[in-house]
Chains A and B, each alone.
Chain A
Amino acid sequence: SYELTQPLSVSVDLGQTARIACGGNSIGSKNVHWYQQRPGQAPVVVIYRDNNRPSGIPERFSGSNSGNTAALTIIGAQAGDEADYYCQVWDSSTAVFGGGTKLTVL
């Protein structure tokens, strides 16, 4: 079965750039979606299809996907961006989530 690998945690200084990686075999050939989950809340999509932002998501969120690694980048991280982030793909009619990354804004 397909697997996605994320770092358990990423720290970033307030106002700096955070990058969260999501590794998977030839993930560049798949569409990657990214979700933000705050404690006690349902996930919310912040990037869909590799690099598209839904309406209402700040421009500081962006995504990339190539080869075996996809990434979510947050330029100018804010305190409110502190949350868990999950990457997700579809593989053979099955949804696969990465293990999640806890983003800490220092």
Chain B
Amino acid sequence: QVQLQESGPGLVKPSQTLSLTCSVSGGSISSGSYYWNWIRQPAGKGLEWIGRIYTSGSTNYNPSLKSRVTISLDASKNQFSLRLNSVTAADTAVYYCASNRPGVNFDYWGQGTLVTVSS
């Protein structure tokens, strides 16, 4: 059973960079055909897909966030990461990491981590 766990600062100042890591256990991040995703949800609002990275290292991003987002993968640590730069209060949300096989639903999710952007 694959498990995902987000970690990172819960508070980020405006204009700075939000950095989160998702640790994967119960399976290798670099084996099999899997995408590793970041999804966020502002309080009381819906889900927004941020982007994903494939086991090969190729990435896809939400066009609305593409200019500010970088997703990377560290196979040696069995982790993948999110960097979102130039954050504003609008980036305050619960951030989830999740996995999916190509073209299919998100199957494994982390519990989510709240990131607040505030000075």
Residues of A within 8 A of B (CB): 1, 31, 33, 35, 37, 42-45, 48-49, 86, 88, 90, 93-100
Q: Are B107 and A45 in contact (CB under 8 A)?
A: yes
Given contacts A42-B111, A42-B112, A100-B46, is CB(A94)–CB(B104) below 8 Å?
A: no
Q: Are A42 and B110 in contact (CB under 8 A)?
A: yes
Chain A residues whose CB sits within 8 angstroms of the CB of B96 once the complex forms: 42-43
Candidates B46, B60, B103, B104; contact of A99 at CB < 8 Å:
B46
Q: Which of A1, A33, A43, A95 has the most CB of B within 10 A?
A: A95
Q: Does B47 contact A (CB under 8 A)?
A: yes
Question: How many interface residues does B have (CB within 8 Å)?
Answer: 22
Q: Are B109 and A43 in contact (CB under 8 A)?
A: yes
CB A21 to nearest CB in B, in angstroms, measures: 16
Chain A residues whose CB sits within 8 angstroms of the CB of B62 once the complex forms: 94
Interface residues as binary, B27-61 with A (CB distance below 8 Å gives 1, 0 otherwise): 00000000001010000001111001000000010
Q: Are A49 and B46 in contact (CB under 8 A)?
A: no
Interface residues as binary, B87-119 with A (CB distance below 8 Å gives 1, 0 otherwise): 000000000101000011111011110000000
Chain B residues whose CB sits within 8 angstroms of the CB of A86 once the complex forms: 46-47
Chain A residues whose CB sits within 8 angstroms of the CB of B112 once the complex forms: 42
Query: How long is the Cα–Cα vector from A89 to B23 in the complex, in angstroms?
Result: 26
Chain B residues whose CB sits within 8 angstroms of the CB of A97 once the complex forms: 46-49
Q: Are A42 and B104 in contact (CB under 8 A)?
A: no
Given contacts A42-B110, A88-B105, A90-B103, is CB(A95)–CB(B46) below 8 Å?
A: no
Q: Does B63 contact A (CB under 8 A)?
A: yes
In chain A, what residue has the closest Cβ to B59? A93
Q: Are B60 and A33 in contact (CB under 8 A)?
A: no
